[in-house]
Structure 1
């Protein structure tokens, strides 16, 4: 298995893309810390699914927008498994409102989790990677380059993630740490439930060359690749997994 003996922390892994990635990493032999903020039931279900397939996982609560909780999460991961090799930054929040209506609180809520939360997680992961380095995978979005209407702040957070990914790759490469981003397209998850219905959904589907919306299982194999030695020469990349979507404009 590609990740045998490795330990991964996946944030925001109680459902959706994070859950799909956690399961896929475990299927390739990694022990996985399944982070959640509020949905213990969801995280426990992911752990149970991993264990049912012979994998190793543990659920761990932490609000990734709170630095002190992020520190606790990584200390727990090291205590539980003795090492850390992979970080998948996935926990995020979106508020889609026109600029005239979006509050400062909504602005800070998105940046605190989607950007600061990612950065603090990277900082803490670095404390626990060994001399061999590690792999950091930041889940971004195609909205970083192709924003929806009413997504100005959310899209800006993902643009920040893309830039941070490149900057960190340059900074951390000498330490053997690879940093890459995945930009999912229109993907069916509990967080997007209802977003793809009606006229908007029809437009999004029409603009997807592969003719369907994505599933978490479409994103997870790319994360496995980036976490593994197969991607040992890949760093600083922002890779789209979007069914061919370009130029959303809605």
Structure 2
């Protein structure tokens, strides 16, 4: 079987769904993975070449079964996009260990488990891994002790994967999105928060789900055949501004 394939976790909505659609548009078959079976079935409906696979990536047994199912249904695995994640924002002193573990279970353990299960299949195709981190893994922020730490760990895990799996021809890269116009962001970001982000981002706007997906799909493609171990901040320049004050940008 020569048709290329991809597995995308957290594919029922947002960046994961946008990524799955772009893969499908370029002719790949795509296993769409999500723990929300109902939303996943709805998202995959009508998408030719899509294979919906319910799975909680934080559960080792489920991940093993999911990977076996995907390999059987797709025939081969050329790319793995570890996009599934959860967010939990709050002060450090209010973050219970249960909340901490809930974030780490999905955001970090899920990336480790899915990648480990996919390695034999990716070795056969000299495939690609793309892990989705966040600008919060590159820049510290208040109220993100678990989320930001989990994403920083994903960035380092990506480098570990690149260093060890490169000899098999497997590439591993990371995308760190900045603020993106997802339904979640629209629901939780007040007008004041959105205005502050616009002031802090050189491009003066949020990104779109498709813009992030385009970077992911590129990193999985042959056009990125010599790129591995890298983290690309798809953030409108947010990281580049450092501690610069928006009021100083006019030079006055």
Q: Does the TM-score normalized on the shorter chain lie above 0.5?
A: yes
* 2:88–2:144 contact (8 Å) kept in structure 1: yes
Which of 5, 12, 15 is residue 14 of structure 1 equivalent to?
Answer: 12
Which of 16, 40, 44 is residue 43 of structure 1 equivalent to?
Answer: 40
When residues 62 and 76 of structure 1 are mapped into structure 2, their CA distance, relative to the original with a 3 A threshold, is same
When residues 154 and 248 of structure 1 are mapped into structure 2, their CA distance, relative to the original with a 3 A threshold, is farther
Normalising to structure 2: TM-score of the pair? 0.91
Q: Deviation at 1:127?
A: 2.4
1:34 matched residue in structure 2? 32
Q: Deviation at 1:211?
A: 1.7
Unaligned runs of 5+ in 1: none
Is the counterpart of residue 180 in structure 1 residue 173 in structure 2?
A: yes
The one-character-per-residue Cα deviations of 1:56-108 (angstroms, maximum 9, x if unpaired) are 11111000111111111111101111111100000001110101101000000
Please tell me the root mean square deviation across aligned C-alpha atoms, in Å. 1.5
Is the counterpart of residue 152 in structure 1 residue 145 in structure 2?
A: yes
* 1:83–1:130 contact (8 Å) kept in structure 2: no
Of structures 1 and 2, the larger Rg is shown by 2
* 1:86–1:136 contact (8 Å) kept in structure 2: yes
Normalising to structure 1: TM-score of the pair? 0.92
* 1:184–1:241 contact (8 Å) kept in structure 2: yes
- Secondary structure (helix, strand or coil) at the match of 2:53 reads strand
1:58 matched residue in structure 2? 51
Q: Deviation at 1:132?
A: 3.5
Unaligned runs of 5+ in 2: 244-252
Is the counterpart of residue 89 in structure 1 residue 82 in structure 2?
A: yes
Task: State the aligned residue count.
Answer: 241
- Provide the rounded CA distance (Å) in 1 between the counterparts of 2:115 and 2:211: 25
- Provide the rounded CA distance (Å) in 1 between the counterparts of 2:38 and 2:81: 21
Q: Deviation at 1:175?
A: 0.3
* 1:34–1:46 contact (8 Å) kept in structure 2: no
- Provide the rounded CA distance (Å) in 1 between the counterparts of 2:137 and 2:242: 11
- Secondary structure (helix, strand or coil) at the match of 1:83 reads coil
* 1:207–1:248 contact (8 Å) kept in structure 2: no
Is the counterpart of residue 244 in structure 1 residue 240 in structure 2?
A: no
Is the counterpart of residue 212 in structure 1 residue 209 in structure 2?
A: no
- Secondary structure (helix, strand or coil) at the match of 1:129 reads helix
When residues 193 and 41 of structure 1 are mapped into structure 2, their CA distance, relative to the original with a 3 A threshold, is farther
When residues 60 and 187 of structure 1 are mapped into structure 2, their CA distance, relative to the original with a 3 A threshold, is same
Q: Deviation at 1:248?
A: 7.4
* 1:27–1:50 contact (8 Å) kept in structure 2: no
- Secondary structure (helix, strand or coil) at the match of 1:194 reads helix
